[in-house]
Amino acid sequence: MRVHYEQVNGTEPTPSLRALVVDDEAALADVVASYLKREQFEVRIAADGPSALIAARELDPDVVILDIGLPGLDGIEVCRQLRVFSDAYVVMLTARDTEIDTIVGLSVGADDYVTKPFSPREVVARIRAMLRRPRRAPESAPETGTPPRVFGELHIDTDSRQTLLGGAPIMLTRTEFDVLAALSSRPRQVWTRHQLLEAVWGESWFGNDNVVDVHVGHLRRKLGDNSAEPRYVTTVRGVGYRMGEG
Q: pLDDT at position 102, please?
A: 63
Q: How far apart are CA 26 and CA 93, in angstroms?
A: 14
Write out the H or E segment, with its range, that includes residue 179: helix 174-185
* Higher-pLDDT residue of 161, 226: 161
Q: How far apart are CA 125 and CA 63, in angstroms?
A: 13
pLDDT at 54 over 60: yes
What pLDDT, in 10s, does the model give residues 187-196?
999 999 989 9
Q: How far apart are CA 115 and CA 94, in angstroms?
A: 5
Model confidence at 134, pLDDT cuts 50, 70, 90, reads low
Model confidence at 115, pLDDT cuts 50, 70, 90, reads confident
Model confidence at 30, pLDDT cuts 50, 70, 90, reads very high
Phi, psi of 76 (to 5 degrees): -65, -45
Q: How far apart are CA 63 and CA 79, in angstroms?
A: 12
Q: What angle do CA 242, 246, 158 make, to 5 degrees?
A: 70
Write out the H or E segment, with its range, that includes residue 22: strand 17-22
State the amino acid at position 15 in one-letter form.
P
Model-level pTM?
0.61
Are 182 and 196 in contact, with CB atoms under 8 Å apart?
yes
Q: Please, where in the chain does CATH 3.40.50.2300 lie?
A: 3-131
CATH of region 149-243 = 1.10.10.10
Buried b (16+ CB within 10 A) or exposed e, 118-141: eebeebbebbebbeeeeeebeeee
Q: Please, where in the chain does CATH 1.10.10.10 lie?
A: 149-243
Query: Mean pLDDT for the chain?
Result: 82
Model confidence at 59, pLDDT cuts 50, 70, 90, reads very high
**What string of DSSP letters covers 107-141?**
HTT-SEEEESS--HHHHHHHHHHHHTS-SS--SS-
pLDDT at 33 over 80: yes
CATH of region 3-131 = 3.40.50.2300
